[in-house]
């Protein structure tokens, strides 16, 4: 009996985890909604007492001592050993580490709780509970019933709340959040960034009509000859949509009012795809980040979005945007606001990070090493920043484990589904510096193929491995055969040798594809000045960049840009030099207080020159 129950629970969990991305609702910003951001309550539960009984079995749903159940004592004799109140409050969204000293180094389970009243619904409306991201594992309970669980710290998920589950007042919402690291998760045990825990992104109720458009993609059809399209001023627009349920309607209408585009598209089995023609389209680019209002109408309901149209492709050794060769003047960014030692979480944070990036004169950002929040990709769309977006398949993932591959694929799907209408995103990266082995290449190839199958309108890459040999750097990582561009992280002069050794170094690739430096950088403590050979000084870092830029002058023809490491210093438990690091990776061009280091200006100058060259 118990076995049966466990087995059924297991099946339910599998279903919830396996199909979560299929049910993901996109473009949540523009749907009817009620925010559940704000003050929640918490219980820190390192022993997971709220989840397991004293025999370490998962508690039954109705167990009064389970932390998902309302612990209000029924009278003075009632024994309750947990509870939620205002003395233990926490803000959502936000990592827990930055909110109270008790969380500073905590990794484990924290229970989040809040109440909400039933929103006013029109007839037949449905409600979904949406999380922008929870790091890493979330179990969600409403009024004592489990809605589902989700794994993956940087991608969104949602669960439907059936009408019968809601009371008019005081609905009791609990989320068990666990950010413990495991060898068979993605990322794995070892990362060079801080494992911030918590409900790190927005939480909201999304209110939808009975039948609604859940997911869609609309973009320039990849196979068109873009130069011809530009000449003819006619473009092929293609894409798909997916409804949540079978609708009574037979068609949806897609409109781009600004160019007088209006087309009906057939619905078949609650899905549809289209291949249409549009005239007079201005294409999106960093120089002209044109976004159009796009409207999708199903019956009486219209969903709007702001979407740019562009084509990115590889042609021989070059990356072309709208048919024109580009040079990526990039910078890598972690999703962190260093001066406040916390995860970035809202549009003001995106403005802050991209404000710095723009000041550096970049046209591209590598959002490392996991999908950043949607404010970032929305802002990149409006600011005209090309984006590299990545899943946290980082270093020593358990490549032999098929379940781990499924976890990585799920995060890849969620990343793609959420951002497939962002013109800014031109590269999906399936991982970073994964050590070459047969199992790893099979694993990574499978991710590349999966991404290509899901989305043919972007380039697929990964930071590959490079063989350093004095004077010669040869990239023949077998994964390079499958990626669209060959990207590597380059640290000559920091890890091994001193910066002056770079000038003579040569770069060669085994693949006839564009070459990109997805990282290059050196550490410096902001405000520490010395001669250039003194490590950790701003002068050392400046020297490193000067030598790197000299090396760039001799790059092979296929060199297509770089995204140095990194815009701002970031927290890392691996960086423990007590004088210069103190728990920070110091490779930022901006220090943890927000001050620009000398190297910032070296790179900025180079980017100004490059911008002129590619005008």
Where on the chain is the footprint of ligand GCB (CB under 6 A)?
192, 369, 432-433, 489, 519, 565, 585, 587
Closer Cβ to ligand GCB, 356 or 565, answer by number: 565
Closer Cβ to ligand GCB, 309 or 394, answer by number: 394
Of 398, 403, 457, give the one whose Cα is nearest residue 428: 457
Contacts for 196 with CB less than 8 Å, ≥ 6 apart: 95, 96, 97, 98, 135, 179, 342, 343
How do beta strands 486-490 and 506-509 pair?
unpaired
> Which pair of structure tokens corresponds to residue 568?
């701002």
Distance CA 100, CA 102 (A): 5
Q: How far is the CB of 291 from ligand GCB (least distance, A)?
A: 32
Q: Give kind and range of the element (H or E) at residue 6.
A: helix 2-19
- Looking at residue 78, what DSSP letter applies? -
Helix (H, G, I), strand (E, B) or coil at 593: coil
Closer Cβ to ligand GCB, 455 or 519, answer by number: 519
Closer Cβ to ligand GCB, 369 or 502, answer by number: 369
Closer Cβ to ligand GCB, 27 or 585, answer by number: 585
The answer to whether the CB of 320 falls within 8 A of the CB of 326 is yes
Q: How far is the CB of 193 from ligand GCB (least distance, A)?
A: 7
Q: How far is the CB of 338 from ligand GCB (least distance, A)?
A: 14
Q: How far is the CB of 93 from ligand GCB (least distance, A)?
A: 24
Q: How far is the CB of 490 from ligand GCB (least distance, A)?
A: 9
Closer Cβ to ligand GCB, 235 or 517, answer by number: 517
Distance CA 351, CA 556 (A): 35
Closer Cβ to ligand GCB, 128 or 491, answer by number: 491
Please state, as a whole number, how many other Cβ atoms lie within 10 Å of the Cβ of residue 458: 25
Q: What is the 3-state secondary structure (H, E, C) of 541-552?
A: HHHHHHHHHHHH
Please identify the residue of the shown chain whose CB is closest to the bound ligand GCB: 192
Q: How far is the CB of 239 from ligand GCB (least distance, A)?
A: 33
> Which pair of structure tokens corresponds to residue 454?
């899901």
Q: How far is the CB of 523 from ligand GCB (least distance, A)?
A: 7
Q: How far is the CB of 495 from ligand GCB (least distance, A)?
A: 7
Crossing angle for the helix pair 538-553 and 598-613, to the nearest 10 degrees: 20
Q: Which long-range contacts (CB under 8 A, 24 or more apart) does 44-48 make?
A: 44/102, 44/103, 44/106, 44/108, 44/109, 44/110, 45/108, 45/109, 45/110, 45/111, 46/106, 46/108, 46/109, 48/108, 48/109, 48/178
Q: How far is the CB of 493 from ligand GCB (least distance, A)?
A: 13
The answer to whether the CB of 223 falls within 8 A of the CB of 234 is no
CA distances (Å), 68 to each of 82, 106, 112, 403, in order?
10, 21, 9, 28
Closer Cβ to ligand GCB, 66 or 368, answer by number: 368
Q: How far is the CB of 397 from ligand GCB (least distance, A)?
A: 14
The answer to whether the CB of 356 falls within 8 A of the CB of 590 is yes
Closer Cβ to ligand GCB, 356 or 394, answer by number: 394
Closer Cβ to ligand GCB, 312 or 568, answer by number: 568
């Amino acid at each position: 009996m118990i076995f049966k129950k466990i087995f059924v629970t297991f099946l339910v969990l599998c279903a919830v985890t396996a199909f979560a991305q299929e049910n993901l609702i996109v473009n949540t910003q523009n749907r009817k909604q009620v925010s559940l951001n704000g003050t929640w309550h918490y219980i820190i539960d390192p022993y997971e007492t709220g989840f397991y009984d004293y025999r370490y079995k998962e508690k039954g749903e109705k167990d009064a001592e389970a932390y998902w159940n309302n612990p209000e004592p029924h009278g003075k004799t009632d024994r309750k050993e947990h509870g939620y109140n205002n003395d233990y409050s926490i803000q959502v969204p936000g990592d827990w580490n930055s909110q109270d000293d008790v969380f500073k180094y905590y990794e484990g389970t924290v229970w989040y709780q809040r109440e909400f009243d039933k929103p006013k619904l029109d007839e037949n409306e449905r409600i979904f509970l949406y999380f922008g991201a929870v790091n890493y594992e979330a179990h969600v309970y409403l009024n004592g019933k489990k809605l589902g669980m989700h794994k993956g710290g940087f991608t969104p998920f949602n669960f439907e709340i059936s009408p019968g589950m809601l009371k008019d007042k005081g609905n009791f919402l609990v989320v068990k959040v666990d950010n413990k690291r495991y060898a068979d998760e993605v990322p794995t045990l070892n990362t060079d960034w801080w494992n911030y825990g918590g409900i790190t992104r927005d939480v909201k109720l999304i209110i939808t009509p009975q039948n609604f458009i859940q997911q869609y993609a609309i973009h320039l059809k990849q196979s068109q000859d873009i130069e011809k399209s530009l000449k003819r001023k006619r473009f092929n627009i293609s894409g798909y949509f997916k409804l949540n349920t079978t609708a009574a309607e037979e068609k949806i209408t897609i409109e781009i009012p600004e160019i007088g585009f209006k087309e009906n598209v057939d619905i078949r089995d609650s899905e549809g795809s289209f291949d249409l023609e549009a005239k007079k389209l201005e294409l999106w680019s960093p120089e002209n980040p044109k976004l159009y209002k796009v409207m999708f109408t199903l019956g009486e309901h219209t969903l709007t979005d702001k979407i740019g149209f562009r084509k990115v492709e590889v042609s021989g050794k070059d990356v072309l945007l709208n048919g024109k060769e580009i040079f990526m003047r990039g910078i890598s960014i972690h999703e962190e606001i260093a001066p406040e030692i916390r995860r970035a979480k809202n549009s003001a944070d995106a403005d802050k990070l991209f404000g710095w990036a723009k000041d550096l004169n970049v046209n591209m950002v590598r959002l490392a090493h996991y999908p950043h929040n949607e404010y970032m990709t929305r802002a990149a769309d409006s600011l005209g920043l090309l984006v590299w977006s990545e899943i946290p398949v980082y270093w020593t993932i358990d490549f032999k484990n098929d379940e781990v591959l499924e976890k990585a694929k799920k995060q890849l799907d969620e990343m793609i589904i959420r951002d497939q209408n962002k013109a800014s995103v031109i590269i999906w990266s399936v991982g970073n510096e994964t050590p070459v082995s047969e199992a790893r290449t099979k694993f990574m190839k499978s991710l590349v193929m999966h991404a290509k199958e899901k989305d043919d309108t972007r380039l697929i890459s990964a930071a590959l491995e490079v063989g350093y040999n004095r004077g010669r750097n040869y990239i023949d990582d077998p994964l390079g055969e499958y990626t669209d561009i060959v990207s590597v992280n380059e640290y000559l002069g920091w890890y091994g040798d001193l910066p002056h050794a770079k000038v003579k170094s040569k770069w060669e690739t085994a693949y006839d594809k564009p070459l990109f430096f997805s990282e290059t950088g050196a550490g410096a403590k902001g405000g520490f000045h010395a001669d250039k050979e003194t490590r950790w000084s701003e002068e050392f870092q400046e020297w490193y960049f000067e030598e790197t830029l000299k090396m760039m002058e001799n790059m092979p023809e296929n060199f297509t840009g770089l995204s140095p490491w990194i815009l701002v210093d970031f927290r890392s438990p691996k960086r423990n030099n007590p004088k210069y690091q103190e728990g920070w990776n110091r490779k930022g061009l901006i220090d943890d207080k927000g001050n620009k280091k000398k190297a910032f200006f070296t790179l900025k100058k180079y980017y100004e020159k490059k911008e002129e060259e590619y005008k």
